[in-house]
Structure 1
């Protein structure tokens, strides 16, 4: 497994775990409460920061565990990365329509922020899935 594939698996893992933990945190606050009163900004920013930090730390740990592969990429890795990012861009572009429509409808900021966060999460997960499939099925 190349270092780029390991990084993709790390990205997918972080892209699932962090949003699920964030969702669990926010859902515990939603029962019987008006969404306008839920303090979601801090936890959302924390989730974003933890996601970025965890991705960096886990990538460094993987490079330390498998040092001979660290930082090595070839044409196949670059092409798989390009294709995954390309698909992720289109997912983000389409998914961004939802928060835009919510903003135009003057919906609570809570829903707009979460729709945008979901768009980013979906984009990252689809991008990682495309890359993993390319690595596993061959290029």
Structure 2
């Protein structure tokens, strides 16, 4: 390591001022910093999911989009997740002990009634519970 340090020449005034360069994509060094370029280099690139445009709308409210994203990922704090921590949390609407994402949004009698009423209002008589 000492040999590597000694190999680098000491700074000299006649060689000009030091430059601060930022590494961009494709091994380019530029004098400006770009947070977007840094993020694109650092993040893990995954294929786009089919439902991403339904969640991340330009006009959406961030906290609602985040909660929707958690629901799609099945990461909401449900009874099934809290049971793994030793806490039993039944469904607040119907009392079912196995509160999961599928139960809360589709199988719970209360949620089912709300969905049918909402979809019935939007679609009229073309409502199909399945």
In which range does the TM-score fall when normalised by the shorter chain?
under 0.3
Which structure shows the bigger proportion of residues in helix conformation? 1
- Whichever of the two has the greater Rg, that structure is 2
Provide the TM-score with structure 2 as the length reference: 0.25
